[in-house]
Each structure stands twice: as C-alpha cells, then as structure tokens.
C-alpha cells in the first residue's frame, strides 16, 4: 500500500467517527470465528470470568440448547453478585419460550424486551428492530458479528450448521461496544449502567488492531451503516470483496457501487444461491444483469446456509458485524459494525473467502435458465422496486 492509499483509508475511517455514530479505538486484539461452537464456548468462558458486569443485546435469543446454555451462564454469574443485563428483540426472539427469560429474571438478571409488537405496551413498534449481536464483559472483552444464540449455528445440534462470521474484541473497542449497548438499554427504559469499563476509549490497548465501532441506532442514527458502506466503496482504490447473505441495498448504495465499478474498482460479491429468506434471493437475482453489465462479479454459495456479513477493502481494511446488506439493516435497524485495520485479520477473512469460493459457482449470463419462470418474474418485479428505494 502506498502512502496515498494509507492516508485515504485513515481519512474515511476517521470521518465515520465525527457524528457520534462511530468510535475510533486503537490497540485492540481481534479474534475471528467462523464456527458457532467455538464462539459459544468462548462466550461462556468470558461470562464465567466476569468481575464487574455482563451486558448482552441479541436479536435472536432462542430457548433451545444453545440459548439455554448462555442463559444459564448469565444466571449463574448474576447469582454471584455481578450485574447482568439482557436486551432481546421481540420479533427476532419471537419463537423463544418466555419461561427462559422469567427464569433469568428470578436469578437476578435484568431482562428487557426491545420494541414489543403490542401497541398497548410501552416502547412498542414493528420497524427499527435491534438486530445487534453484542455481548460485553467488564468493558474488557466484547463479541459481535452475525451469530445469534440458537442451535442452527452449532454443529452439536445441526447436521449442517450455518456458515457465519463472528469476532471477539479485547481492548478499547469493547468499551465502544458498551457505549452502544447503553443506547439500547436506555431505549428499553433501563437505568444507566454505572460500572466502569476495564478499557477507556481515549487510551490505546496493547493489541495490534485499530478498530472503528459503528453503531446504527434505528431512525435516530439511520445513516451510520449506510455511511460505513458508502465511504468504504468510495475510498477503495483497487478491490472490494464482500460476503453477504442478502443483497438488497437501497438505490443510493447501489449507485455508488455501479459508479466505482465502472471506474475500474474490482468488486466480488459472494451470496448464497438459496438463503433462509427466499424473497431476498429473488430480489437479488433481479439485479444481476444490470450489475454484471457494470462489471460487478457475483458468486453463489452452494454449501451450508450462508449468514456471514464481511467486507474487505483493498486487502487493507476489514468490516465484520451484524448489519446485512439490505434496506432494513442499512436504513432502519439497530446494528453494530466493526472496521478493523489489521493485515492479519484481513488475510484470515480473505482465506475464508477463498475457501467459500470452493463451494461456490460464478454467476454467468445464463443464470436465469436454471430458475423457474415464476422466480424470474419475482426477480424482475423486485428489481423495479429496489430502483425506487
């Protein structure tokens, strides 16, 4: 990387932090996970080691084997006198047994529901979900990324667990995750947490990674995630590599991608051929022709359910988080994204991208011939809708 490219990368990451929707932290240690069981084991280990507080906000907190394992770990820690707070999303966790949360409450865990779908209840609503997966221990360690708390991410329960990406942050980035948790805790009516974080935002840690923690907070900071993607595409000079489960971005972001590709920026996008949301697949397929005309390359993953959300800019900066590449995540939901400046992390993500390509096929111009007529019709209608968003 030449001096100009390095300065440009620093400039756009610093720009993200100027309006309070992102926090720039230095000296973090970052660990990537691509399998759920490794993440859940690490979470339980860190929860057990907590001394000051444990805070969790989770879109999908299910009452299955994985969910109850984490719930038990939180309850045990609360029973030992450590403050534990949990925010779960009403829609994302709709299938969970309320009894699990009641048991946690009896154990001393402070449990709150995010935007119940009931107009007679306080702070109810439908749009603007808390889609974050954010666990903070003592302001020392934080976990975030694409994995919810559920058995489909575990090889112990699912024959083919979902392919996803998660990250552990040790350093001031954990304090940044706590900062954004406080926003969610305030939103659900909780009293402001008084515990101090182990790390301070204004002091570097001892790790090798500089991280920008971006917190999209519904409509109040709805531009945070869009700005993250837009600035990344604009600042990149050579190549962007993306792995996303749903490719349904708003028109403004699409326009930037088209323009940069036509200017010569190489763009490779890995998507599932069939995700867990069929409608998203149909809408994405309607965009193939025009985006391929503009030079963007698509690959369809044929392995397990692909739920990972990551990006690599110029083999220099990596982005991992909860935000999908769709209209809801970019414009409405509460999300958390981590920009990592660390060549070692970028290499790990790039190696995983190459492994995923081994289970994928490039989208060619005759892709539509393998789809039924009704799916092609949905794709055409969906593309027309997206162009107006």
User: Which tens digits make up the pLDDT trace of 139-152?
Assistant: 999 999 999 999 99
Res 2: pLDDT: 47
Res 389: pLDDT: 60
Structure-model confidence comparison of residues 117 and 182, the more confident one? 182
Summarize pLDDT for 25-76 with one digit per residue, the tens.
999 999 999 999 999 999 999 999 999 999 999 999 999 999 999 999 999 9
Res 367: pLDDT: 79
Does residue 8 carry a pLDDT above 70?
Answer: no
Average pLDDT over residues 18-26: 84
Average pLDDT over residues 290-306: 95
Does residue 245 carry a pLDDT above 60?
Answer: yes
In angstroms, the Cα distances linking 389 to 77, 255, 258, 259, 351 are: 46, 12, 16, 18, 34
Average pLDDT over residues 365-379: 80
Q: Give how far the C-alpha of residue 285 lies from the chain's centroid of Cα atoms, to the nearest Å.
A: 23
In sequence order, which residues have a C-beta less than 8 Å from that of residue 264 and are 6 or more positions away? none
169/212 Cα distance (integer angstroms): 11
330 band by pLDDT with thresholds 50, 70 and 90: confident
Structure-model confidence comparison of residues 220 and 81, the more confident one? 81
The chain-wide mean pLDDT, for the chain, equals 91
Res 381: pLDDT: 79
Specify which of 285-289, 342-346, 369-373 reaches the highest per-range mean pLDDT: 342-346
Res 3: pLDDT: 45
Summarize pLDDT for 100-132 with one digit per residue, the tens.
999 999 999 999 999 988 665 667 777 889 999
Structure-model confidence comparison of residues 166 and 4, the more confident one? 166
Structure-model confidence comparison of residues 353 and 18, the more confident one? 353
Average pLDDT over residues 222-229: 86
Res 4: pLDDT: 39
In sequence order, which residues have a C-beta less than 8 Å from that of residue 58 and are 6 or more positions away? 86, 87, 88, 89, 92, 93, 132, 133, 134, 135, 148, 149
| Full-model pTM | 0.93
Structure-model confidence comparison of residues 251 and 63, the more confident one? 63
Does residue 6 carry a pLDDT above 60?
Answer: no
- Of 246, 267, 271, give the one whose Cα is nearest residue 258: 267
3-state secondary structure of 11: helix
What residue ranges define each of the domains in the chain, with the CATH number in brackets? 3-245+307-358 (3.30.870.10)
Does residue 232 carry a pLDDT above 60?
Answer: yes
Q: Which residue has the tokens 């190549």?
A: 239
Q: Which residue has the tokens 């001393």?
A: 108
Terminal-to-terminal C-alpha distance of the chain: 36
Res 299: pLDDT: 98
């Amino acid at each position: 990387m030449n001096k100009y490219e390095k300065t440009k990368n620093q400039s756009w990451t610093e720009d993200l932090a100027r309006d309070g929707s992102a926090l720039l932290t230095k000296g973090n240690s970052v660990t990537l996970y691509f399998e759920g069981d490794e993440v859940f084991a690490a979470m339980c280990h860190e929860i057990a080691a907590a001394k000051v507080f444990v805070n969790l906000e989770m879109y999908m907190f299910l009452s299955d084997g994985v969910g109850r394992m984490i719930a038990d770990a939180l309850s045990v820690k609360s029973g030992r006198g450590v403050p534990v707070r949990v925010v779960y999303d009403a829609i994302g966790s709709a299938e969970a047994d309320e009894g699990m949360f009641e048991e946690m409450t009896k154990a001393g865990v402070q449990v709150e529901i995010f935007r119940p779908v009931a107009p007679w209840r306080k702070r109810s609503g439908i749009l603007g979900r808390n889609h974050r997966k954010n666990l903070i221990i003592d302001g020392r360690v934080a976990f975030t990324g694409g994995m919810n708390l559920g058995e489909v991410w575990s090889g112990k329960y699912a024959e083919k667990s979902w392919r996803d990406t998660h990250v552990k942050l040790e350093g001031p980035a954990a304090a940044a995750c706590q900062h954004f948790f406080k926003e969610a805790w305030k939103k659900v009516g909780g009293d402001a947490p008084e515990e101090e974080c182990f790390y301070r935002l204004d002091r570097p840690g001892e790790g090798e990674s500089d991280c920008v923690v971006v917190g999209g907070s519904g409509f109040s900071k709805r531009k945070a995630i869009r700005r993250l993607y837009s600035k990344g595409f604009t600042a990149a000079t050579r190549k962007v590599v993306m792995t996303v489960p749903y490719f349904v971005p708003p028109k403004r972001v699409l326009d930037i991608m088209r323009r940069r590709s036509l200017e010569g920026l190489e763009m490779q996008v890995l998507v599932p051929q069939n995700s867990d949301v069929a409608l998203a697949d149909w809408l994405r397929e309607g965009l193939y022709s025009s985006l391929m005309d503009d030079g963007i390359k698509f690959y369809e993953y044929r392995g397990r359910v692909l739920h990972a959300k990551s990006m690599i800019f110029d083999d220099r900066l990596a982005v991992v988080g909860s935000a999908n590449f769709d209209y809801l995540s970019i414009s409405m939901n509460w999300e958390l994204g981590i920009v990592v400046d660390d060549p070692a992390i970028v290499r790990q993500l790039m190696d995983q991208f190459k492994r995923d390509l081994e289970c994928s096929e490039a989208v060619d111009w005759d892709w539509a011939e393998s789809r039924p007529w009704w799916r092609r019709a949905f794709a055409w209608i969906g593309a027309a809708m997206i162009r107006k968003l």
